[in-house]
Structure 1
Amino acid sequence: MQSRPMPQVAGVEHRYVVANGIRFHVAEAGAGEPLLLLHGFPQHWYAWRHLVPLLAAQHRLIMPDLRGFGWSDAPHRGYGTNARVDDLLALMDACGLDRVTLVAHEWAAWAGFMACLREPGRFRHHLALNIVHPWPDHRATIRHAWRMWYTALWEYPLVGGAVLRHWPGFTRYILRRGVTGVWQTPALEEFVESVRSRARAHAGQALHWQYVLRDIPRLATRRFRHQRLQVPTTLLFGEDDFAFAAQSLDVGGSHGVDVRVVPGGHYLPEERPDLVAATVSELFGTMESHREEIVG
């Protein structure tokens, strides 16, 4: 657990739960239908601070720090996608969440896709932000692979951890590139500093390296081509996202993904919290109407 002071957000309470052998920090706010929000890299629960005042009046917001990040434990292993799905399902059990709507950003959204494919009954809806889905257009993906050049400095063993620990200017540069507007300086520095300890820098490196070793080969061999999502899934993708290309996502919804390209960059919860909140409200409204039709 980190000794760094935790940032504060009005109305947010904090607790710790043990799941899958890991002590997770969980931030919570509001009441109502549970909404599980999972952060991307290099962030933690504070990534959702702009969403709290927009959603807490209607929803119970559960915002954990994932393995290796924020104030959760940072063991040496367990950063592959399958292990992170195990963490997610165990964390839901520990929090008493039988079924939730999932809102996840970047690498957490990738794990969200895998969780929805593995255990569709646990999720009402998945709102994914700023990530490729498991059925990309391969030609477009190859053409735009150069966009991920920066991950080479984070993903290799020894090198990646050293860059995150000792070259904070690079992390800061990538975060700044990820928004089309201007970061709030305290938040920017919070996320830069959050991955500089030895254990958390290793977590960041391992997260990217496991994706290279395991997930990219699965995408390249079209491992998911015969699978279709049973969980209603919407993907919000910033038209100015520097990391991924919208062209890679054009599958016509054939696998159950509603792809929406919207104004913004790679960190939509930072620069377009209004849009993310409006989409959450739209999706919940659709579900409530559907339930009323069934009951009626």
Structure 2
Amino acid sequence: MGDRPTWDREGRDWPNREHSRFVTAAGLRWHVQIAGDGPDLLLIHGTAAATHSWRDLLPLLARRFRVVALDLPGHGFTDLPSTSRLTLPAMAQSVAALLQTLNVHPVLAAGHSAGAAILLRMALDGRIAPEAVVSLNGALIPFAEKHAAFFSKAARMLVTLPFVPSLMAWRASNRAVAERLLRDTGSRIDARGVDLYARLIRHSDHVAAALGMMANWDLVPLLRDLPRLRCRLVLVVGASDRTIPPAQAEKVRARLPSARIVTLPGLGHLAHEERPQVVADLLLDIHAQARPAPALDEAS
């Protein structure tokens, strides 16, 4: 039987809890945070994270946008679906159903790591039409071909063994495990952030969702379709990222020459958690650049 975080226990002091709500869509009960007024801005976290990843960024953005952040299927406080629904197209479809239920139409969408791939799949499939998709250390390139099949098969095997998520969650119950995993990303985040990650990864359902994504993720079709992207793509890269090699951004731009690369010196895979003000300012700048200049008779 699965073990998932509960709102009364793990969510008791959840960041931005006052903006949380639970919504049913696509057959799942989702944890969603909505804050601020203005045009819609969508935030999607990466594998093994949750809305806490935006804990300091969300309030900054809510000054200018209606910010919508969600826990992906199986992550945080959102229901865990069947493994078959953890593919990239299926997750994009599920998130789109949630947005439809919420009547959310993002003018700007930012995704961290695997979250960037979900946003791009949604944009390519016509499920969202933002001014720009911002990839924050996006996981957009598959493993090297000679290793891809091995990792996919290994992850698929692990996720089908019922004791594996429980075993991994048990090992992660030691806070030092979470500290080491986060340190390996090349980022240094605050103690509260470490505690929140540790709080989640000690639960087998949360771990099973991360493993299920690894087992079912196929980025080859996404890269094939990328030249069809109609909105702008901004690739934000932490220069010290140890999870996604910074050089991968150039490979993405080779598929879509119009993509813009922005490098953040000294920051790692969790750059938006290390320096939320820097990322907030960047998102505001991207939004400002997308807006048309005022007509002459409107200018003052």
Query: Normalized against structure 1, the TM-score is what?
Result: 0.82
Q: 1:226 to 1:210 in 2, by over 3 A?
A: closer
Q: Does 1:161 align with 2:165?
A: yes
Give distance in 1, aligned partners of 2:156 and 2:239: 24
- What are the Cα deviations for residues 74-105 of structure 1, in whole angstroms up to 9, with x where unaligned? 12331110111001211110110134311110
2:10 alignment counterpart: 5
Residues 1:127 and 2:130 aligned together = no
* Deviation of the 1:26 alpha carbon: 0.7
User: 1:109 aligns to what SS in structure 2?
Assistant: helix
Residue type at the aligned position of 1:61: V
* 2:274 paired residue number: 271
Structure 2 CA distance, aligned partners of 1:188 and 1:226? 34
Q: Distance in 1 between matches of 2:108 and 2:240?
A: 26
Q: CA deviation at 1:43?
A: 1.4
Structure 1 residue 108, shift from structure 2 partner: 1.1
- Name the CA distance, whole Å, in 2 between partners of 1:120 and 1:79: 18
1:59 aligns with 2:65: yes
Structure 1 gap segments, 5+ residues each: none
Preserved contact between residue 132 and residue 249 of structure 1 (Cα < 8 Å): no
Query: d(CA) in 1 for partners of 2:128 and 2:71?
Result: 23
CA distance in 2: counterparts of 1:66 and 1:122, whole angstroms: 20
Match of 2:236 in 1: 236
Match of 1:45 among 46, 51, 75: 51
Distance across 2 between alignment mates of 1:236 and 1:67: 25
Cα shift at 1:225:
6.3
Contact conserved, 1:154 with 1:204, CA < 8 A, in 2?
Answer: no
Q: CA deviation at 1:227?
A: 3.0
Per-residue deviation, residues 170-198 of structure 1 (Å, max 9, x unmatched): 443111222443x3223212212213223
> Are 2:291 and 1:284 aligned?
no
Q: What is the aligned residue count? A: 281
Q: Is the 8 A contact 2:30 2:70 kept in 1?
A: yes
3-state DSSP of counterpart to 2:227 = coil
Aligned equivalents of 2:50 and 2:194: distance in 1? Answer: 12
AA partner of residue 122 (structure 1) = A
3-state SS, counterpart of residue 5 of structure 1: coil
Q: 8 Å contact 1:160–1:205 — kept in the other structure?
A: no
User: For residue 17 of structure 1, what is the aligned residue in structure 2?
Assistant: 23
Corresponding residue number in structure 2 for 1:185: 191
Q: Distance between the aligned counterparts of 1:83 and 1:294, measured in 2?
A: 46
1:74 equivalent among 80, 88, 98: 80
Structure 1 partner of 2:213: 207
Q: Quick one: structure 1 residues 153 and 265, their matched pair in 2 at CA, closer, same or farther if it must change by over 3 Å?
A: farther
Deviations 1:222-264 (A, max 9, x none): 9606733111111101111101222232255651321222221
Indicate conservation of the 8 Å contact 1:76/1:202, yes or no: no
For 2:117 and 2:82, the matched residues in 1 are separated by 21
Closer, same or farther: CA 284–223 of 1 in aligned 2, 3 Å: closer
1:27 corresponds in structure 2 to: 33
Aligned residue number for residue 261 of structure 1:
263
Q: CA RMSD in A?
A: 3.2
**How many angstroms does 1:153 deviate by?**
8.1
Asked whether the equivalents of residues 153 and 160 of structure 1 are also in contact (C-alpha less than 8 Å), the reply is: no
Deviation at 1:27, TM superposition (A): 1.1
Cα distance, 1:41–1:53 mapped onto 2, change above 3 Å = same
Cα drift, residue 24 of structure 1:
0.6
CA distance in 2, matches of 1:200, 1:11: 19
**Corresponding residue SS for 1:18:** strand
Q: Which amino acid aligns with 1:129?
A: L
Of 97, 105, 115, the residue aligned with 1:108 is 115
